[in-house]
Structure 1
């Protein structure tokens, strides 16, 4: 009996729908935020330890690499928040149809890009 399964999948030809990409990015942003919590808590602890610690954190925040890191954290936080709201709305039974899911995923992408731009301007 010959099986009709594909023998070789070319992963570069597979295109995920926007809803799948939104879900994957939501998980990735959650993992980024998990690691970011440690960085942010360390910055908070250092800034609250003494006036010298606060000055040290302020000086660190002027470095472009730290600004880039904070921008990434804020971007992940913004996307995770928007995608979380999208998932909560879908849990309530709204927007579960394919067309509504695609529209909400694309809207999440657009709003996340806007939040990322705003965060970039705020940091720089």
Structure 2
């Protein structure tokens, strides 16, 4: 039996609510953090291997591209943490599970992550 229901395959016409965007970005940030752990552990291993390795790691930290990488990792981590706290507060029913509360908490989460990204940029540069 074939069901006749509308199928919308054009994703550019779909408008996601703010709560969905916050949830999707939380998942994407978790994946990025997981994938970048290898590079950060390699840098830690290089800096702890020998005095020469520490010098190489400190020279890499002076590179502008590497500073941007570290800043983006701090920014992604700050968003992931603030959004994770938001999700946990909603799961434990501290905030409540209404659409209005979800929108407001997503806005607060974006604001906190933006402020922490600015602060990490100031500290790195």
Q: Same fold (TM over 0.5)?
A: yes
**For residues 81-105 of structure 1, what are the alpha-carbon distances to aligned partners after superposition, in whole Å with 9 as ceiling and x for unaligned?**
0011001111111221110011000
> Distance between the aligned counterparts of 2:8 and 2:40, measured in 1?
45
> How far did 1:7 drift?
4.3
TM-score by length of 2: 0.92
User: RMSD of the alignment, in Å?
Assistant: 1.6
Confirm whether residue 26 of structure 1 aligns to residue 26 of structure 2. Answer: yes
> Distance between the aligned counterparts of 1:36 and 1:25, measured in 2?
16
**Alpha-carbon spacing, 1:109–1:98, altered in 2? closer, same or farther (3 Å):** same
**For residues 57-81 of structure 1, what are the alpha-carbon distances to aligned partners after superposition, in whole Å with 9 as ceiling and x for unaligned?**
0100111110111111111110110
Q: 2:71 — aligned with what?
A: 71
Q: 2:60 — aligned with what?
A: 60
> Distance between the aligned counterparts of 1:111 and 1:122, measured in 2?
16
Unpaired stretches in structure 2, ≥5 consecutive residues: none
Confirm whether residue 114 of structure 1 aligns to residue 118 of structure 2. Answer: no
Confirm whether residue 51 of structure 1 aligns to residue 51 of structure 2. Answer: yes
Count, aligned residues? 124
> How far did 1:5 drift?
2.1
TM-score by length of 1: 0.92
> Distance between the aligned counterparts of 2:85 and 2:51, measured in 1?
38
Unpaired stretches in structure 1, ≥5 consecutive residues: none
> How far did 1:117 drift?
1.0
Q: 1:93 — aligned with what?
A: 93
